[in-house]
A and B are shown apart, each in its own frame.
Chain A
Amino acid sequence: MSKVLMKGNEAFAEAAIRGGCNCYFGYPITPQNEVPEYMSHELPKAGGKFVQAESELAAVNMAYGAAASGGRVFISTSSPGLALMQEGLGFICSCEVPLVAMNVSRGGPGVGGIQPGQADYFQVTRGGYNGDAKIPVFAPSTIQESVDMIYECFDIADKYRNPVIIFADGMLGQMMEPVELPPHKGLATPEEIREKKPWAITGKNNHEGRNVVKSLRLQPDVLEKHVEMLFEKYAEAEKELVRYKTMNLDEAEIVFVAFGTMSRICAEAIELLEEKGVKAGMIRPISLWPFPKKAFDEIGSKAKIVISTELSMGQMIEDVKMAVAGRWPVGLINRTGGIVPSSIEVAERALKALEEVK
C-alpha cells in the first residue's frame, strides 16, 4: 500500500473514519482544529455525521447519546477542553458506553499555552471525573502509530464498553509524516449494531425487552456491586492492554522512561550519549493506563539510574517510582509550558544525573 504525507490531526481523523466512526462531535481548540475541520468535510462523505458542538460539555454528551444508541463515536479536544469533558467521561464509564476520545495536549494549567505539553498525564490516567472509574490511555509517538491505534481502539472500547483515550500532543497533531492508511472497515448496519451492542437504546422494536442506559444507583449496595463489576473489567484491561517498547535495556546505564513526543527526543539523546561512550536505553510506555510496570523487570544489570522524561513538572514519575520500587534511583528530566527540550539538553542533563548517582 502506498504512503501519503499527512498532518497528524488530519491522519487522526481519517483513521477514525476508516475505523468505522459514524459520528464525530467537536469544538474548536488549538492545536487539534484540523480534526473537526477534516471531519466536517470527510465524515459525511463516508456516511457519518459531523456536529460542531457549542462547547466541549455538549460535545462529550452528544458523543454519549450517539454511542449509547449504538453509534461508533470519535471525539477530539485539547487539554482545557478535556477538563470540560471529564464529568461526561466519568458518567460514560459508569453507563458502560464505548467511545474513543483524542487529546492533542498543550501546556497548562488554565488556558496555559498552545505548544506541546504532557502535563495532562494525571488528567488522562487518573481522570478528573468523580468516582471510581478507569479509562485505558494510549500514547502514540508517531503519526503511523496514532493511526493504527485509533483504528484499533474502537474495538477495544466496544470490548470493554468503556471510553478509550488517545493521548497525543501538539507536535504530533501539527507535524507531517508519511503514513499508510488502513482499509475502511465500513459502517455498522442496524443488524450488526443489534448483534454487537444488544444493550444500546435503539428502540424496543430492535431488541429483546427494554434498554436503559444509566448511571444513578441510589442504594449503596447496588452501587457498590456496579462499581465492583466495572473494576472486574478494569482488572481484565490491566492484563490485556499493557503496551510498551524498549530500547537497549540490556546495556543501558541510563534508562529513560518517555512517551509520545518525548520518546522521540530521548531516542536521539540515546544516540548522542552513545557518541560520548555512555550506554543509554529507554522504556516507552504506550499504554499509560495500564502503566507497563513489567517493562521495568527487563532493565539490565548495568543500569545506574532510571529517568522519567516528561513535558510536565513530573507526573508520570509517580508511576515510574512505583514500577521501579526502589531498585534504582529515579531522576527527572523535564520542561514544561510548551517547551520541548532538545536532544542535546536531554543528553547533557542525563549525563549529569548519571554522574550524581555514580
Chain B
Amino acid sequence: MKKKMFFAGSGGQGALAIGQMIAKAGMEEGNEVTWLPSYGPEMRGGTANCTVIVSDKPISCPLINDADVLVAMNLPSLRKFESMVNPGGCIFINSSMVPETSSRTDVKVIEIPANEKAQELGNDRAANIVMLGAILVETNCCRKDTIMHQMEKMFSGRKAKFLPANIAALEVYCK
C-alpha cells in the first residue's frame, strides 16, 4: 500500500493541517509517512500545499511526480494540480469555493460543499475538517478512530472547547 496525496488551498483554508492529521494518523496505524509542505512567502495569501505519502514500506522520496488523491480547496489549486492525478485516482473539490468541476474524466471527482456544511454547523473554519471526513470515507487512507485520536490531541487543554464542533464537522460525511 502506498498512497500519494496532495492537499492544496489558499493560506488559512487548512489544507496543510488536514494533510498533517492524515500523516499523524497514518503513523499511529504503523505506516511510514512523509509530509512535505510548500514553504515561503506564497504561504500567506497565495496557494499553500503539501504532499503526504502513507505507505507500508519505507518512503525514499517525499516528492511526488503524480498523486492518487488531490484535495483542491479553491479554484487555482484545482486548475494547477488536477493534471497530476493518476487515472483512477480521486479529486476532492471544495465546491463551496470552486464554481466549476474538474476537466478530468478518468478520475473520480467528488464535490464537497465544505464551507456550506461547516457554516450549517456554525463553524466556517472547520471546512477543512468536513473535507477530511469525506476523504476518510472515500479513500481509506487512515481510520476514523486514529483521526479522532489526533483531533483529541490537537484540541486539548485550552483548545478542548473546540473539539465537539470539530468532531461534528468530521462526522458530516464520516458517520
Residues of chain A touching chain B, judged by Cβ–Cβ distance below 8 Å, are: 3, 5, 30-31, 114-115, 170-171, 174-178, 264-265, 267-268, 271, 340, 342-344
Smallest CB gap from B62: residue in A: A175
**Bound CA–CA A329/B134 (angstroms):** 53
User: Is B23 a contact partner of A264 (Cβ separation < 8 A)?
Assistant: no
**Residues of chain A contacted by B33 (CB below 8 angstroms):** 5, 176-178
30 contacts between A and B (CB under 8 A): A3-B27, A5-B27, A5-B35, A30-B39, A30-B40, A31-B39, A114-B39, A115-B40, A171-B62, A171-B63, A174-B37, A174-B39, A175-B36, A175-B62, A176-B33, A176-B35, A176-B36, A177-B34, A177-B62, A178-B32, A264-B61, A264-B62, A265-B61, A267-B61, A271-B60, A340-B63, A342-B63, A343-B63, A343-B65, A344-B65
User: Is B24 a contact partner of A5 (Cβ separation < 8 A)?
Assistant: yes
**Bound CA–CA A115/B62 (angstroms):** 15
Q: Main SS of the interface on chain A?
A: mixed
Q: Beyond A5-B20, A268-B61: 11 further Cβ-contacts under 8 Å?
A: A114-B40, A170-B39, A171-B36, A174-B36, A174-B39, A177-B35, A177-B62, A178-B32, A178-B33, A342-B63, A343-B65
Smallest CB gap from A178: residue in B: B27
**Residues of chain B contacted by A340 (CB below 8 angstroms):** 63
**Residues of chain B contacted by A178 (CB below 8 angstroms):** 27, 32-33
Minimum C-beta distance from A102 to chain B (A): 17
Minimum C-beta distance from A243 to chain B (A): 19
With A175-B34, A176-B20, A178-B33 as known contacts, state yes or no: A267 contacts B60, CB within 8 Å: yes
Q: Main SS of the interface on chain B?
A: mixed
**Residues of chain A contacted by B24 (CB below 8 angstroms):** 5
**Bound CA–CA A334/B34 (angstroms):** 24
**Bound CA–CA A5/B31 (angstroms):** 12
Minimum C-beta distance from A300 to chain B (A): 21
Minimum C-beta distance from A292 to chain B (A): 20
- Which B residues between 3 and 50 are near A, CB-CB below 8 angstroms? 20, 23-24, 27, 32-37, 39-40
Minimum C-beta distance from A93 to chain B (A): 33
**Bound CA–CA A90/B68 (angstroms):** 49
**Bound CA–CA A203/B24 (angstroms):** 49
Minimum C-beta distance from A131 to chain B (A): 36
Smallest CB gap from B31: residue in A: A178
**Residues of chain A contacted by B27 (CB below 8 angstroms):** 3, 5, 178
**Residues of chain A contacted by B20 (CB below 8 angstroms):** 5, 176
**Bound CA–CA A175/B54 (angstroms):** 14
Minimum C-beta distance from A127 to chain B (A): 28
